[in-house]
Amino acid sequence: MKLVKDINKQSSIKPQVSDKEAEEAIKKLLAWIGENPSREGLQETPKRVVKAFKEYFKGYHQNAVEDLSKTFGDVEGYDDMVIEKNITLESHCEHHMAPIIGVAHVSYIPNKKVVGLSKLARTVEIFSKRLQTQERLTMQIAKTLMSALDAKGVAVTIDAAHQCMTMRGIKKEKATTVTNYFLGSFKEDLSIQNRYLKYIGK
């Protein structure tokens, strides 16, 4: 439980830099790349970028555990896996701040209680709206779901393209990266794991 609390502690972090200071930093970057921050087309750009960044990185101010706290016990003994496939994922890599775009597949086996389906997608959203590595993102989603839902098992798969290697560097535009993380029954029982992988088409 402590690990999940550590994962989610970023939701309590308060900005140390004002919007105005952030806008000034964007102006400096514009000048650094050779632009004129004062020309008509760029005068409002710093404000727009700061507004966009608030959306891109809003996960730092959200807590997935709190979001998963409302569960339902009236499931008449349902004890098989719940799978939510093809959850759109948009994140940014922590090395170049370049977009990571792909899909996430999430599954859990309930232990007396289930959670609203939108909360699974919301958990993916909260962790993806932070600077990330795909490996850590996959683990954070899985560990949070396992702990918050007291699940019998959790499986998370992410298949994503990293713009830091499709638009720059090695420039392999069709390359995608797949990561998996299994906990509980999904890790201990290969038949359950294989059923999950078959359902998501992997």
CA atoms within 13 A on the CB side of 31: 8
Q: Which of 23, 92, 164, 193 is catalytic?
A: 164
Q: Which of 43, 44, 66, 95 is catalytic?
A: 95
d(C-alpha 27, C-alpha 125), whole Å: 29
Q: Which of 10, 35, 61, 94 is catalytic?
A: 94
Q: 94-127 burial string, b = 16+ CB within 10 Å, else e?
A: eeeebbbbbbbbbbbbbeeebbeeebbbbbbbbb
The phi, psi pair for 3, rounded to 5°, reads: -60, -40
Q: Which of 134, 140, 163, 193 is catalytic?
A: 134
95 counts as catalytic: yes
105 counts as catalytic: no
DSSP-derived secondary structure letter, 200: T
Q: Which of 23, 140, 162, 193 is catalytic?
A: 162
134 counts as catalytic: yes
96 counts as catalytic: yes
Q: Which of 92, 93, 105, 140 is catalytic?
A: 93
162 counts as catalytic: yes
61 counts as catalytic: no
Q: Which helix (H) or strand (E) holds 177?
A: strand 177-184
Q: Please give the positions annotated as active site.
A: 93-96, 134, 162, 164
